[in-house]
Amino acid sequence: MKRRNFIKKATLTSIGTIVGAEIVFAHMMPEGYVPLALQDPDPFKLFDKSKEMVVLNDRPWNMEAQAHLLNEKVTSNQFMFIRNNGKIPEKIDVKNWKIVFDGESVKESKTYTLEELTSKFKQYTYQLTLECGGNGRSEFDPPAKGNQWTVGAVSCATWTGVRLRDVLEDVGIKDDAVYIGYHAADTHLSGDPKKEPISRGAPMAKVMQDETLLAFKMNGKDIPLAHGYPLRLIAGGWPASVSGKWITGISVRDRVHDGTKMTGTAYRVPCESVEPGEKVKDEDMCIIESMPVKSLITYPKTGATIDEGKKLDINGHAWAGELAVTTMEYSIDFGSNWITCNLEPAVNRLAWQHFSASIAFPKKGYYEIWARATDTQGNGQPMVLPGWNPKGYLNNACHRIAIKVK
């Protein structure tokens, strides 16, 4: 992004000096090629991230936070996870950026510039929880393929934009509209311009919610490039893959969208429970919609030590997809007994909620603090890994941290 991968051959001598050694076979180097030693692969600098973030993949870039990094009530960019499927766009022309609305269920195709979106429609700001559908995948056994997320592929920033439903009403949609699918400016890892890295979407009921936005600001500033600058879709409470980045098009469909990563096993789980390791037919897989109830202890960091006789203050966040969290509890005896935490209401629908508690320990020794949230429909987090699925989605087992009392 900040560096071009091509330079003039005339600088080979100076490059050798910087590298600190003669570049053997320099005469065979393609013109304009930059040696790997000079390419800047530092994702922390590249994306303005904390060096405590964990890189899972660099092709494409995927990066997660650790639990203690997510202690902020509003997630800042430095601690926000990155989940990409293709290459991040390198050339962003904001002045000429357009979004096209088309598909079987629009009365007529219509195009908007960013300036038209921001000036024609009322703007809204919401704090919205985004979580990768595969957050927690690393715990599944047998292992599931994909990025081995632990607990840090979740965030809750504030997003400012226009309501997608307001724009669709201006476009004009038909009564047979069933789903939308998004299209974006990221490119396929193969370099094939005909292939989309990802093109997912949502049913009209989700699309028409107040909080579903075409967003252009995050935490009051332009969205960082890695998170979708200059325009992205935000659909809080559902798998973050629904919230497409670098949006250039919305197709309004008269059927369930069938774009890349909408079919087969992608972002789907078995419609009925299966045995671990069992193969499941594509037609027996159901699309993930609302994410399950979940919580995270963000303070203190696991491994903390306190003195005997002192209480330990803990805090964290809880969320439940489309629902709210009604009860938050902790246990220090491996789930035998549960004690209620203080739980704050969400600042708005689809934002996470904050919890806290002050814990007394009976004697010195090793403890684990387990956290359990329950939603408005009475669904509670399982103490251990929930039902296995082939792609390792929807792990909402209780989060836990280790504590020593000395």
Q: How high is the pLDDT of residue 31?
A: 72
Q: Give me the chain's average pLDDT, please.
A: 93
The pTM assigned to this predicted structure is 0.89
Q: How high is the pLDDT of residue 35?
A: 66
| % the chain with pLDDT above 90 | 86
**Res. 112 pLDDT band, cuts 50 70 90:** very high
Q: How high is the pLDDT of residue 18?
A: 52
Average pLDDT for 45-70: 95
Question: Which residue type occupies 345?
Answer: P
φ, ψ of residue 86 in degrees (nearest 5):
-135, -160
pLDDT tens digit sequence for 231-285: 999 999 999 999 999 999 999 999 999 999 999 999 999 999 999 999 999 999 9
Query: Which domains, ranges and CATH numbers included, belong to the chain?
Result: 10-61 (no CATH), 83-287 (3.90.420.10), 294-405 (2.60.40.650)
φ, ψ of residue 75 in degrees (nearest 5):
-70, 125
